[in-house]
Structure 1
Amino acid sequence: MKTPTLALAAAMAALGMAADAGQPMNDLQIAHTAYTAGGLDIRYAHLALAISENDAVRDFAQTMIRDHSAVNDAAGRLIAELNVTPEDNDLSRALVDGAAAKRAELMALTGNAFDCAYAANELGYHQIVNQTVAETFIPAVTVAPLKALLEDALVTFRAHEAHAERMVGGLECAG
């Protein structure tokens, strides 16, 4: 279950292609992508609260809403303080497109099938996002307050990954 979702993997491949093409993301693009990723995880969590009856899944979803909202709120305050406008980019657009497909897939499921798919998606999502934040975004950011925000958020997101891994292990999923 440690495989990231196909859509997320495609989005991350887009990031790699942009870097290979000599087009590294700038701070405003990184900020937009990080904010977008958090917002998408909040939407996944709201879906889990609407569909799941599993206490562990619902608790995880509530944690995602609380923590990702807090990080996105902090990012919004930083953007206002710096008086900048984040830039949409290929990676943030690919994340949005992939998440729409994943939400449609999840909405077709119920019961344990939903819980297992949601949990596996959350684990894969946090694995790839954490890797991207740690290895690509933080090293590339040039604005100190944004770097600090990403570093602080990464601590929380790594805890989410561990929580998702425990959740996956606690569910009775086929495969």
Structure 2
Amino acid sequence: MTRTPALAALLASALAFAAHAQQGPTDPQIAQIVVTANQVDIDAGKLAEKKAHGKDVRQFGKQMVTDHSAVNKSAVALVTKLHVKPEPSDTSASLKKGGDENLAKLRKLKGKDFDKAYVDHEVEYHQAVIDAVDKTLIPSAKNEELKALLVKVRPAFEAHLEHAKHLQMELGQ
């Protein structure tokens, strides 16, 4: 399976943070990373709802929109409560850029080619996000409520990864 440039950028950013774990992202940066990562998947899910060839892929896209919108709602409510203003970072910028590049690629595809590309990206993206949550975001979070939110939503990301892998197998990849 080939890695997309967006995913490579995400992984590079996560590894750079891991290498500087004592500095890591700040809580405001983590907040922005969380919101951006979820928005990237919401945007891709909305496109899948419209363009996917297979019913299961369309349904998965819809689930991504629903689930990641709920996570963003929780994240925004928490940072509002904590009076934390999300702060852009290289990682959130990389996520946004990668998400935009993925959407541009997906918009050019149709039918089963769209389904394959969307599902492949979802597998790689969710794995990369889980790795970033485990290796960078949770260890770097200073606020216990922010850390608790990351821990709480992690199983959903794991479930999304497993669902995407299942779809990948069904599509014969």
Q: What TM-score range do you get, normalising by the shorter chain?
A: over 0.9
User: Distance between the aligned counterparts of 1:70 and 1:19, measured in 2?
Assistant: 27
1:27 counterpart residue number: 27
User: Distance between the aligned counterparts of 1:64 and 1:78, measured in 2?
Assistant: 21
Amino acid at match of 1:17: A
Conserved in 2, the CA contact under 8 Å of 1:4 and 1:128?
no
TM-score by length of 2: 0.93
Conserved in 1, the CA contact under 8 Å of 2:18 and 2:135?
no
Conserved in 2, the CA contact under 8 Å of 1:4 and 1:125?
no
Amino acid at match of 2:81: E
CA RMSD of superposed structures (Å) = 1.5
Q: How does 1:140-151 map to 2 (within 5 A)?
A: 140-151=140-151
User: Distance between the aligned counterparts of 1:139 and 1:18, measured in 2?
Assistant: 11
Q: Establish whether residue 96 from structure 1 lines up as the match of residue 96 from structure 2.
A: yes
Q: Which consecutive segments of 4 or more residues in structure 1 shift more than 2 A? A: 3-6, 14-23
Amino acid at match of 1:5: T
Q: 1:6-63, CA deviations, whole angstroms, 9 ceiling, x for partnerless residues? A: 2122122133335546742111101110110001100000011111131110111111
TM-score by length of 1: 0.92
User: Distance between the aligned counterparts of 2:17 and 2:150, measured in 1?
Assistant: 21
Conserved in 1, the CA contact under 8 Å of 2:133 and 2:154?
yes
1:7 counterpart residue number: 6
What is the count of residue pairs matched by the alignment?
Answer: 172
Identity %: 40
Query: Structure 1, unaligned stretches of length 5 or more?
Result: none
Conserved in 2, the CA contact under 8 Å of 1:5 and 1:125?
no
Q: How does 1:160-171 map to 2 (within 5 A)?
A: 160-171=160-171
1:48 counterpart residue number: 48
Query: Structure 2, unaligned stretches of length 5 or more?
Result: none
How far does residue 83 in structure 1 lie from its aligned partner after superposition?
A: 1.2
2:83 counterpart residue number: 83
